[in-house]
Each structure stands twice: as structure tokens, then as C-alpha cells.
Amino acid sequence: MNQPQISKPSRRLSGARRRSWLVGMATLLVAGAAWAGSYAHSATHVTKKSSEHVLSVLTAYGNYCNEGCKYYGPDVKEFVQVPYKKTATAWYTWTYVSTTMKDVKYFNRVTLTKKDDGSFVLVTRQLDAKDEAVVKGLVEKTGKEHSPAFDTGKTVFTVGPVEDGKTKVVQSMSMTASGMLDMFGGKIKDGMKAGAEATFKNIEK
């Protein structure tokens, strides 16, 4: 995105004009900080693998990274389950992603809902501003940092059997970004698509 060129105030500007220029700059900065965008991507994959296999892959914490791990996670340096407040249907994870732009580290809340027919829904939600108390506890317990790049983020896997003994996997992602990050909407969308493609390839291993 091309940004408007803003020249510096001339030394010969009067005091009134200088104050006007500064007010204008402040307005632009505040407006830029308020920029926000919402992004979503959904993809479907049908596999001969069972629902149990799919779940085991999606929850293979500690086995995902950008290179050298069993499963490929684009730009992922570490992806682990947190041994804190864990139950059979809900737990927390911590992700460390390193890109050319910045390093991002954050906690997620994961919930699992199973049905009798073997289908399940797995929801991973990035902890955000409303989870301040939970984040504080996780940071204290683990010593890990929480500094997400996005304001909100959620991934929902809806998995279940279909005809011919196959399994249908639907991955739906949504996130919101504000400030300068929203200027890279194209890269955000590309990253979401790459993430879904990686997931489906991992399932087939």
C-alpha cells in the first residue's frame, strides 16, 4: 500500500502553522493505530484416514515445526501443550512463530467436543485482552511469553465420517488485525491458506 508522503515542517513555519502540522500528524497516527481488518479462510479435505488419526495429528504437540519435525508447521519454532489446567476436553497450548517480520509467541485455549458417531469439533482460540488473568497465570507457571501478533484468532476443525469410510475435515480460520499489521492483508491471507494446506498434508502422513 502506498503511503501519502508527509513532508517535514519548514523551519520558517510560523508557530500557528507548526502547531497545525503537529495536530495533523497526531491525527494521522491515531487513525493509523485504529485501522483494523478481519480475515477468514475455510478449506475442506476428504481423507481415507480415520477421525481418530486426524485428531492424533492435530494434537501432536511437540511434533510441529518449520523443519526437522514429524509434522510441518509454517514458520513454527515451537508448538507445545501446557501442563496447566488440563482436562480431557480442554487445555492450553503455546506457540512460537518466527518470520522475517517478527517473532510471535502466544497461548491458546483448546476445547474438544466429541460425538458418538466418531465426529468431533476441535476449537483453538488465541488468548486475547479479555483473558488477562488467565494469561498472567500461564506466564507465571510456564515462564513463557505471550505477545500475539493478532488481536484475535480462532481455528475450528470440524471432523467426521462420510460415505465410503472416508473422513471429512473442515478447517475454518478467523482473525483480526489492527495497526500496521493490517497493511499486510495479502500476506495474512496467504499465511492462512498455507496453514490449511500444511494441515491436510500432515493428515496424510
Query: Which tens digit of pLDDT belongs to each residue from 56-76?
Result: 999 999 999 999 999 999 999
Record the pTM. Answer: 0.79
Contacts of 100-109 spanning 24+ positions with Cβ under 8 A = 101/184, 102/149, 103/77, 104/147, 104/148, 104/149, 105/144, 105/145, 105/146, 105/147, 105/148, 106/146, 106/147, 106/148, 106/149, 107/82, 107/134, 107/135, 107/138, 107/144, 107/146, 109/134
Q: Residue 4's CB: how many other CB atoms inside 10 A?
A: 5
pLDDT surpasses 90 at 19: no
Q: How confident is the model over 17-31, as a mean pLDDT? A: 35
Q: Residue 183's CB: how many other CB atoms inside 10 A?
A: 15
Q: Give the least confident one: 17-31, 52-66, 120-134, 138-152.
A: 17-31
Q: How confident is the model over 44-54, as a mean pLDDT? A: 97
